[in-house]
A and B are shown apart, each in its own frame.
Chain A
Amino acid sequence: MRVHVDPSKCQGHNRCYALAPELFDVDDYGNAFERNDGVVPAGLEDKARLALANCPEFAISIEE
């Protein structure tokens, strides 16, 4: 599984970083990006889905 934050949609709500810091990080401006090229380590799939389900800007996508 891979996650991706669309930087043109992200407005820095920081929901993904709060819910799944293993998968997402934020820059100095508070905008999010995926860690580790978006590769989701085994066992963290639910966290990836949780982040997607809580992004108010619909900026996160998942490739299964």
Chain B
Amino acid sequence: MSETVYGPVTDWATDFDHGSPAYAANQHKIWEDLKNSGCPIAHTDRYGGTWLPLTHEMVHSIAYDTDHFSSEGPVVGQLKPSEVPDRIGAPIGPVPPISSDPPFHNEARRLLLPAFSPKMIDPWRDEVIEICNKLIDDMGDADHIDAALQYSQHIPVMVIARMLGLPVEDGDRFRGWVNLVLSGIGEERTEERMQKFMEFNEYLAYHVNDHKENPREDLISFLLNAEIFGEKLSLEHAVGTVILLLIAGIDTTWSGIGSSLWHLATNSVDRRRLVENPDMIPTAVEEFLRAYAPVTMARVVKEDMEFHGVQMKKEDWVLLPFPAANRDDKQFANAHEVVIDREENRHAAFGLGIHRCLGSNLARLEMNVAVEVFLQRFPDFSVDANEMVTWSTGQVRGPRTLPFVVNARA
């Protein structure tokens, strides 16, 4: 937790810490209080200087302005991108395309788009249904379950491992590495952390080599043969993209599924409506994505500049809190209410502009199927009052434990 490095927050407008447990627990109120006090963009000296714009308009304009804001550092860390040893700088970045800027970004992204297009993703539906049902079968007839530990956290891992061509049994290790990269942002750069990064790299090197020797029909083999600007991808590029696909799809979707189930466990009217009208699930999932958007991204300021009256300095971090944009009442009617049949919903949970989540079709499929199957099998469930629901900290937000009582099963 970042308090180990930076200490508790004294003032959210001038000293916020988006990696703190307090932010994870109270973010909706923090944004509202900041906006109401006339501060639509907060600042902190932490992480070497970071900005937090809160309106949909600001988030939208920064996401579109790739001339002034670079994607070189999509996750805020204690080191600025230029301070990272052996870094691959802009416009490529370490994990293309999320860390890339135009014009390189367009090519690196275009190569991946077909594999994640709706017509390629839809056929995975039956497999996702099977995965979800199997996870519920494995719970036996227990009436106390954990919907995060026994359900939501497994679904995206199993799918992406199959798509990439990595052993599905290694799910626990993948999740460990996801935590290392995304939740540990404020932790000291201890030897233990460095050791884990090394293990991750060795694991990937092993599987990439294995794919070189034994090519197959999966995304790793595809990347090893793919070309950009008429040449094969560099090994760093291919491995960087494998890392990205592994990391980007796991705790994000796990968070999206978990938040949806948490909402349904705590709102019995909505739960009953969806049990009785499963056709409404896709619309409800969009609303869960809006209201509990899991992902905040970051940019790096390219040169000193003014933005909405504040002076940003070269290399400052700028967070893109899509979750805050999704609760902006200038953009959404009743922005703070969860309206599961909301008709007009231009939410930004999957980002805005050129970095729109490449996995959004897959993520939506997984969320829809996960909610559908859970409600089919458990038409009535609630949070276990004797246990704690815990939430992640950092740029990806979602429940990490979901102790539920099953009140009815089908």
The chain A residues found within 8 Å of chain B, CB to CB, are: 11-14, 17-18, 26-30, 50, 53-58
Bound complex: CA A27 to CA B119 (Å): 9
Bound complex: CA A14 to CA B350 (Å): 11
Q: A26-B118, A30-B113 are contacts. A14–B360 as well, Cβ < 8 Å?
A: yes
The chain B residues found within 8 Å of chain A, CB to CB, are: 110, 113-114, 116-119, 282, 286, 343-348, 350, 352-354, 356, 360-361, 364
Residues of B within 8 A of A14 (CB): 118, 360-361
Residues of A within 8 A of B348 (CB): 56
Residues of A within 8 A of B350 (CB): 13, 56
Selected contact of B116 from candidates A17, A30, A53, CB within 8 Å: A30
In the complex, the answer to whether B119 meets A26 with C-beta atoms within 8 Å is yes
Bound complex: CA A24 to CA B380 (Å): 37
Residues of A within 8 A of B364 (CB): 18
A57 to chain B, nearest CB (A): 7
B32 to chain A, nearest CB (A): 22
In the complex, the answer to whether A28 meets B114 with C-beta atoms within 8 Å is yes
Bound complex: CA A57 to CA B348 (Å): 9
Selected contact of A56 from candidates B117, B282, B346, CB within 8 Å: B346
In the complex, the answer to whether A12 meets B356 with C-beta atoms within 8 Å is yes
Can you list 5 A-B contacts (CB < 8 A)?
A: A13-B360, A53-B345, A54-B286, A56-B348, A57-B353
Bound complex: CA A17 to CA B344 (Å): 15
In the complex, the answer to whether B117 meets A54 with C-beta atoms within 8 Å is no
Bound complex: CA A57 to CA B64 (Å): 10
